[in-house]
Amino acid sequence: MAKSARYPVLISLQLCVPALLYVFIGLYNGRGTGLEYLLPNYLFMAAPHLLVGLVALWPRSRHSALLWVLSSLNVLLIAFQIWVLLAVPAHESGLAWVLYVPLWGATLLASAIIWLSAKHRVARRSLGA
């Protein structure tokens, strides 16, 4: 999968989800698309996505697992946005987004640990240990 022509397209589509979510939530809240604030909000919401996207650019690190990491980050972002909409008072919603950073950090850390343990397990198996 990582060597196919679809791989960059799938990575790009995954990177579009935060922008689409921001526009959709703006329309849902009745404040319009909010395009004037799209770039700073996208950079905040998609920071972990962009880090994974940068890793995916490096040819030696291309792997289909990066698509799963991006998918898990998108699920986290959508779930977090739903939580902010439904459970957080409107005047506190900006402050609630501070919690998003440790959540995506934990997701990236867990993904890295799973990745490294899987690589270590495969390396041990190939050595016959």
The pLDDT tens digits of the residues spanning 76-99 come to 999 999 999 999 998 999 999 999
Residues 19-74: tens digit of each pLDDT = 999 999 999 888 787 889 999 999 999 999 999 999 988 888 888 889 999 999 99
Residues 104-125: tens digit of each pLDDT = 999 999 999 998 888 777 666 6
Asked if residues 34 and 26 have their Cβ atoms less than 8 Å apart, the reply is: yes
With 0-12 / 13-18 / 19 or more C-beta atoms within 10 angstroms meaning exposed / middle / buried, residue 12 is: exposed
Amino acid identity at 76: L
For the entire predicted model, the pTM comes to: 0.88
